[in-house]
Structure 1
């Protein structure tokens, strides 16, 4: 077992030599740089990559308070992918879980969306969490990315600016040309930086729901691995207080939903894809399992008009649509639209 393998420039070649010479030696290479461990041609064909995702809300509660069996997750998945309403009130089951915790805070989910995802946040205040995560991001951009061929101090600075750009903008598709113009760069450099930033696992992209041929010509939507990274970068620039709380939380919550779907796919055997709807009057997401009809999903904090979800249901011939919103405390179905409260969705 070799930890911090990335500090040896020849770690993958050494592993290859041992692998080729003796099949009875089991090797584990680990390190703090996901980028350097994965961005290597010699090891690509031999690697079994196991993604270590940020904490889910349920995992966060287990570690911070006490262990409990999350027998809610499957009911939520059945609701999302099959439209099956649970036979029992999940809100009551969640309240029972909360009642078993000592010193549980009523705003725990909001704090998780703003600062959670990593165990280091348990014993830190907001200021310490921001500093820890900003330092981590700067290390990834300057040190980890800096060791990749073709990346220098100027491009590392551009990568940092790109992350702040994503943190401050409203969720939505944006072309690489627009990013290049905003950062006074070029599309080739932006494309390289986006590829590397995704390999660092700081961000990921969501593609438009369209034919494979058209998908390569349309812009992607970019989200952070956790909503907390978006919030922390915004707070570091002092931007979070410049808009109404509900509007700001809606942005964070959309990232929370996107990263929940992205990380679920990486950590489980649920096979599906998440897309964004590129049509006018679009919904936030479309999730599709195999060749099933896509399920339109709209995300909001506060009251949400149902015209967008209805338009998407008609366009994609979906039997039902889902609005994830805090306007209800329990799961409610009305006119083939399922209203799913954030407190319940967070246990997915």
Structure 2
């Protein structure tokens, strides 16, 4: 696109975007609550408006449907209503719409907006870019935002494709805000205005990964969980995505709609899939829910779907990068070799629950269903705790525990709704200081010998 076409597009956009966002927020309801990430970004915007130009580039990354676009709308409204920033100084770009224009360079839009709309040299500009998974990468934006002539510009990108956010500069790693479906703390805070500290997550992380028990008294969630046990069950099955209908049947339908949108809209942001491959993405996700997870080697998936192992591998890779799935690799003691398939889990148990409930009668298979949801919940929580110092594995030994959390210095075996004998065997096998046993009906965290017993609902707080 040439400069004239870009300017015309932006002029038309700026005429209508304020009313568009107002109508969207009105439709959602004026009392819609704000997630933690909203406040993180709001505080950074406030610093920018007060001439602190240290951090002016942020990326919200997370699966479709968790509220990234809503946060951009809320921040737009905050700038207009509370900070009284003129609407001409706020640009909201939806890259799904820009696809209609053919090939383009995003920085060309930024330059035309900055240079051709009458801004003074020191005038501040805020840019929101939605559906940014449609960009190949953000390295050109990184260079653009860091140039001296653009110090008065603040940019937030929001999208689902983690590949797009592989930046050349390691210094920008802190700009990526990873968003996940609601945990139970956020659910209670949003629905009941509880002021439960988000430090609970940090304290649980220290307990699980480091065995630090000094902060146990700072994990005061049991009263809330007891009071809202039915809602906890509802949360892990139906309500980890904000703004969905409250009726369980409708929530299942809405969850499946999100899953279908991910397949239809987001897969191609990773790679170009044929129509057949995209159609086979649906039964592939079903297989990952319904089949015994330990038997899901690539060749079995390929045979069942009647496609090549390469196509299965490409689909799984895409699902991980649009953040509906994650994988866990096998682990055995050092010095031993292992050739076992990766295990795949859903980032939200809500997907697993919805697919399961339309495929089977859970009233006749409830034990199997609940066990599957419980293990996925623990896997997802441990995955969210991963960082550069810790990795998550599954125990590849015969009759082993469910998970192994490993750092350079220690190994922590984790089992779910099992018995002490299996966990004690793993503690001895891996020379671990302690192990974690996740128990469904436990009322409080307990420590006996070298085992830390944690109630299953506490993992939904992570």
Q: What TM-score do the two structures reach when normalised by structure 1?
A: 0.82
CA distance in 2, matches of 1:160, 1:88: 43
1:213-234 CA deviation, whole Å, 9 max, x = no partner? 9989531110001111100111
Question: Mapping of 1:296-335 within 5 angstroms?
Answer: 296-300=413-417, 304-335=418-449
Question: Mapping of 1:267-306 within 5 angstroms?
Answer: 271-288=389-406, 290-300=407-417, 304-306=418-420
2:233 is paired with a residue whose SS is: helix
| Aligned residue in 1 for 2:25 | none
Give the deviation of 1:40 after TM superposition.
5.1
Q: Structure 2 stretches of 5 or more lacking a match?
A: 1-90, 109-138
1:254-297 CA deviation, whole Å, 9 max, x = no partner? 111111122233xxx78421111111121111112x31221000
CA distance in 1, matches of 2:144, 2:183: 41
| Aligned residue in 2 for 1:83 | 211
Give the deviation of 1:124 after TM superposition.
1.8
| Aligned residue in 1 for 2:378 | 257
CA distance in 1, matches of 2:213, 2:332: 29
CA distance in 2, matches of 1:27, 1:160: 39
Question: Is residue 2:457 matched to residue 1:343?
Answer: yes
Q: Structure 1 stretches of 5 or more lacking a match?
A: none
| Aligned residue in 1 for 2:160 | 34
Give the deviation of 1:44 after TM superposition.
5.0
| Aligned residue in 2 for 1:58 | 185
Q: Which has the higher contact order (CA 8 A, sep 6+)?
A: 1
Question: Mapping of 1:75-224 within 5 angstroms?
Answer: 75-86=203-214, 93-97=220-224, 105-121=228-244, 123-146=245-268, 149-172=271-294, 174-210=296-332, 217-224=339-346
Q: Is the 8 A contact 1:90 1:330 kept in 2?
A: no
Find 1:73's aligned residue among 201, 207, 230. 201
Give the superposed CA RMSD.
3.2
Q: What TM-score do the two structures reach when normalised by structure 2?
A: 0.63
Find 2:347's aligned residue among 225, 249, 253. 225
Q: Which ranges of 4 or more aligned residues in structure 1 deviate by more than 6 Å? A: 15-19, 211-216
1:178 is paired with a residue whose SS is: helix
Give the deviation of 1:170 after TM superposition.
3.3
Give the deviation of 1:185 after TM superposition.
1.0
Give the deviation of 1:29 after TM superposition.
5.9
Q: Is the 8 A contact 1:323 1:340 kept in 2?
A: yes
325-334 vs 70-79, greater mean Cα deviation: 70-79
Bigger proportion of residues as strand:
2
Give the deviation of 1:311 after TM superposition.
1.6
150-159 vs 211-220, greater mean Cα deviation: 211-220
Q: Is the 8 A contact 2:237 2:349 kept in 1?
A: yes
Q: Is the 8 A contact 2:392 2:404 kept in 1?
A: yes
1:3 is paired with a residue whose SS is: strand
2:408 is paired with a residue whose SS is: coil
CA 1:194 to 1:4, structure 2 compared with 1: closer, same or farther past 3 Å?
same
